[in-house]
Homo-oligomer: A and B are copies of this chain.
Amino acid sequence: MAKRPLNIALIGYSFMGKAHSNAWRQVARFFDTPYEPVLKVICGRNEDKVRAARDKYGWDEYATNYEDVINRSDIDVVDVTTANNSHALIAGAAARCGKTVLCEKPLATNLADARDMLATAEAAGITHAICHNYRYAPAVSMAKRLIDQGRIGHIYHFRGVYLQDWILDPSFPVVWRLDKDVAGSGSHGDLAAHLIDVARWLVGEIGEVSGMLDTFVKQRPRLAEIDDRLGGKASDEMADVTVDDSSIFMARFANGAVGTFEASRFCAGRKNHQRWEINGSKGSLVFNLERMNELEVYFDADPPETRGFRLVQTTDGCHPFTGDYWPIAHIIGYEHTFTNLLKELLDSLAAGKPASPNWVDGVRNQAVLEAVEKSSASRAWEKPEA
């Protein structure tokens, strides 16, 4: 029986645009999805680039005006992957058009905007989703399953770092990710936000935080020419770096667990080092994004003679998602965290259930981010606004 087609419009064609294009193209090729996504239209402001992206990523059409796109009656889903500071505008507008809206994280560049978006989405009665894709790395979903089964017991500790080094060189220019007006924040919203989502999903809501945001290199060359990936060409002129280079905070979860969070782009040798560890009364879990097909699991109840962290290759048929890819230990890549998220989204749509994660998660994530920023300024503990 033919699947129901689902027409997708993608706003943004850069790094995340590429990743989302791939996931929309691939999701029904691996999973028995209830819908067949149709890559209808990709939209961006630069016509040459968006046309090239259409050709490269396999979209039917391209467009340069997002408003036209979100108003099209043949579009079912609007997927927003533009720069952070336009999420609220575009995703909000798409919500008002009654579309299903998937928004890249962060939901917005500040909590007030995020709340407005959620209110808009709820008023419009749409299905809203946010792309916290790492939840659906198989090892992370497996961690969730073990925690939900009580295998780790009561959680005492969450300990997460997300470390990169791509701006270590002080002559690297002020790309948009280093500009507060566009990005909202630096490592904080870009990297720590991922840790917060994983922590909220696996441990629970965060009750209070004490944090410190630091900018190690306060001035850099102004950007001369943009590059579609992470980099760009430097000009001779200097400009202020207006975002944090490093975000560190302690947290107390509502359930009593304690947590440490650290995100930085100044960690030489750490390329995409999202690593977290959870310690509970019955065991522990360790995940490292750079080896995302593995989960380390420790059960305290194992006999002491043969007790140790188990290196589980979470790519067996029994593990979340992976039975639909390749045989065990034929690893999947980064891109399939997006594919898996879309699989979940399509299942939610078919079931008429809210997506997970959704804009409520986006708002709460933003609330934690903002509490940390506040704490960094107040030098005191702060509670995320409820």
Q: Which residues of A contact B (CB under 8 A)?
A: 15, 19, 21-22, 25-26, 28-29, 56-58, 142, 145-146, 151, 156-157, 159, 161, 163, 165-166, 168, 210-212, 214, 216, 229-230, 246, 248-250, 252, 256, 258, 260, 262, 264, 266-273, 277, 279-284, 289-293, 296-300, 302, 304-313, 315-316, 318-319, 325-336, 379-381
Contacts and interface: CB of A to CB of B under 8 A. Distances in A.
Contacts of A306: 146, 151, 297, 299, 310, 312
B380 A212 contact: no
Contact of A272 (B230, B305, B330): B330
Given A246-B258, A279-B264, A284 B300 contact: no
Contacts of A15: 326-327
Given A246-B156, A248-B260, A333-B336, A304 B282 contact: no
A316 B267 CA distance: 16
Given A319-B305, A381-B379, A290 B258 contact: no
A329 B273 contact: yes
A315 B289 CA distance: 14
A312 B290 CA distance: 12
Given A29-B56, A333-B333, A264 B297 contact: no
A280 B304 contact: no
Nearest to A245: B156
Nearest to A277: B267
Copy number in this complex?
4
Contacts of A157: 246, 262, 264, 266-267
Contacts of A333: 325-326, 330-333, 335-336
A48 B30 CA distance: 18
A264 B156 contact: yes
B326 A335 contact: yes
Nearest to A300: B268
Given A258-B212, A264-B157, A318-B305, A329 B246 contact: no
